[in-house]
Amino acid sequence: MPLPRAREERHRLIIFHFVLAWSHAAVRIRGFAACTAAGGNSPQARGAIFIAMGGGVAVLALSLIPLMVSAAPCAAYTRASQTPAGYAPPVSWYTNTLLLNADCTGTQATLTVGDNSPTTYVYDTAYYHTGTSWVPLTLTGTGKQGRWIPRKATASFTLPQPTTYVAAYTCEWQGNTWRCGCTTPACTQRAWQLQRVRSFDGGASAEETAARAGEGSVGARAEGAALCYAGKTKERQYVATPEALRTALRTASCGQEIVVGPGEYGGAYTWGKVCPANAPVVVRAARPRASMVTGTITLGGAYAVWEGFTFLNPARISVKGKGMRITRNLFRGTGKSIQVDKTARDTRIDHNEFVDTFGGEAQCKGSYVVACSDIVLNVRKDDRPLRTLIDRNYFHTTVSTLRQGNAIYVGTFDVPGDTRTDTVIENNVFQNWWKKGVVHIKSDGTTFRSNVVQGGFARVDVRQGSFNLFKDNRMERTQEKMYLRDSYNTAEGNYVPVGIRLMAGSGWEGRENTYKAAHNTVLKNNEGPVTVGFMWRGTTLYEIPRNITIIGQRGTVQKVAGRYDPATYREDPTPTGPVRGKALSLAPRDVGVSARDARCSR
């Protein structure tokens, strides 16, 4: 492999025109006016587009349109499919490794360019955007040759705004040629590689900052969820009919409690008032579970609580506002019981009971159709619910035959863009769960921790998505297993005697990428058997998982020949910590409608 050299050659002036525009959170950067160099096999001589080379000069013309961007993690783009047309992705087309990564602690960011491979070279200048202009960022690394740094290079800077963009440029030696800033696998067009960077709200915790690729995934926090009744209600209003309840929802003042008498409540009910966090409206059943809802409830506005009802099919709650809490309700026979819409923020769903929720099964056309799931978080391109906390709920069935659907579904559609939801699912019990799925993830940034799954079919999986974390769970006596697909996901401290499967990329003709390969996956201090390179029967292999790290596994590790990459596989049997999920003693009495809520002193 000829190495890049900073020759004193004569180069044509390189002119770049940057266009930074807001369009569904898409940023377009266009580079034009190719450079030429005489001879050699360096990236320079292969027609790579870059800012400047030995002796060259760069002129930057910047055309800016104001940005309106939604919240994002420190490194928002982890898949090539997230990259809008017009520039190159921060992910390698050839190894699926992240070439532009960022770690943030509060507003401090460290940019890492390159994947530490000897066949990767990094141009020594990157750029970040302040909101009004592009600022050069000098990258440093070892073994620099002219303007090129082998393996990887880093730079630290202060984020000038909650969300900013970083442009950098890398070259990879593939197929006896340099491939630089490739917009497609064929690399017929080259452009700047773009990463979207955002600090964590309130600053990242030490666990979040450390838990990156190679060390673990970034766990969500959901800190803004409405944990408790934040303040006392001013007065109570008693209602006993559907009409009276609708009127009360229209006229109630912030801080008021609406007490609902026993009976059946059909039809539609809507809450839309914006209340402060210290004066929510509380809608509470007069006698727990004696008020039965068979209609639909829409919670818009801000800060409301819905407590103590029984929901019967076809009842449903739709959450569209901020700071909503759904607590101590019984969902029996429902389907798609709670829908958390893309506009929802800081929702808490806690201490509820879901039993035999097969009401949407007739609408199912496959295993994971949304209508079959109990809690659905709707994710759309660059638009999704944020900071949802799902905790202390009790999911169970009284049948012992396989049924369609999931307990919790985070995602819904395979779309590019920012899909991070910062969802936390913790301290729930799934017992004798005969729906196909416990949790089914098709988005980024979900943390599934300290949950107990016992008996039934009960699959736990990531269908697609990055930076999802499975931590300290106990999963036993189930017919199904834990499945990890896609990139940069982590499982740590789980007790899973039924097994963990890291998927190879597979599918069918015309749907080759149905099951994404588990690239850059970390397993750490888990107990149970592991299969690396698993495929469903009848599917065809299209991509092997790369950059797998398994540390301290208590159990056998089966590596399927031809379905993983030995060159990037790392295994260390030495434990670095306990299997915390094995000691988890959470039981039905600790969750559900009657359990005490230690967070709220009740």
Give 233-249 pLDDT, tens digit per residue: 568 999 999 999 999 99
The answer, yes or no, to whether residue 600 has pLDDT greater than 70, is: no
C-beta of residue 220 within 8 angstroms of C-beta of residue 98 = no
* Residue range 8-64, pLDDT digits in tens: 222 222 323 333 333 333 333 333 223 323 233 334 333 333 333 333 333 333 232
> If DSSP codes are grouped into helix, strand and coil, which group holds residue 110?
strand
The confidence score (pLDDT) of residue 162 equals: 75
Alpha carbons 208 and 218: distance in angstroms, whole number: 5
Backbone torsions φ then ψ of 494, nearest 5 degrees: -90, 140
Question: Taking the C-alpha atoms of 263, 269, 275 and 276 in order, what is their torsion angle to the nearest 10 degrees?
Answer: 60
DSSP string, 413-454: S---S--EEEEEEES-EEEEE-EEEEEEEESEEEEEES-EEE
pLDDT number for residue 342: 92
Beta bridge partners of 444: 420
> Side by side, which strands form the sheet with 268-271?
268-271, 296-299, 316-319, 338-340, 375-378, 403-411, 435-442, 459-464, 482-484, 500-503, 530-534, 557-559
- Region 214-219: what's the mean pLDDT? 31
> Is 0.85 topped by the overall pTM?
no
Average of pLDDT values for 374-399? 90
Report DSSP letters for 158-178, one per residue: E-SSSEEEEEE-EEEEETTEE
Peptide bond before 280: cis, by omega within 30 degrees of 0?
Answer: no
Half-sphere exposure of 446 (CA within 13 A, CB side): 28
pLDDT for the residue numbered 380: 76
Q: Are 413 and 435 in contact (CB under 8 A)?
A: no
Least confident range of 79-93, 189-203, 278-292, 492-506? 189-203
pLDDT tens per residue across span 121-157: 999 999 998 888 889 999 999 999 999 999 999 999 9
Q: Is the pLDDT of residue 578 over 70?
A: yes
Query: Has residue 284 got a pLDDT over 90?
Result: yes
Q: Would you state the structure tokens that stand for residue 376, as one six-digit string?
A: 């659905």
- pLDDT computed for residue 132 by the predictor: 82
Handedness of CA 91, 95, 97, 100 (dihedral sign): negative
Position 167 confidence tier, pLDDT thresholds 50, 70, 90 = very high
The predicted model gives 557-566 an average pLDDT of 96
Lowest mean pLDDT among 199-203, 294-298, 487-491: 199-203
What number is the average pLDDT over the span 483-503? 96
For the cut 60, the answer to whether the pLDDT of residue 373 exceeds it is yes
pLDDT at 358: 86
Residue closest to 487 by CA, chosen among 209, 77, 85, 73: 77
User: How high is the pLDDT of residue 94?
Assistant: 86
Mean pLDDT of all residues in 471-495: 96
- Position 366 scores a pLDDT of 53
Q: How far is CA 422 from CA 159, 200, 204, 217, 275, in A?
A: 20, 10, 12, 12, 23
List the Cα angle 417/421/426 in 5-degree steps. Answer: 150
Average pLDDT over residues 447-472: 95
Do the Cβ atoms of 281 and 252 come closer than 8 Å?
Answer: yes
Mean pLDDT of 264-290: 95
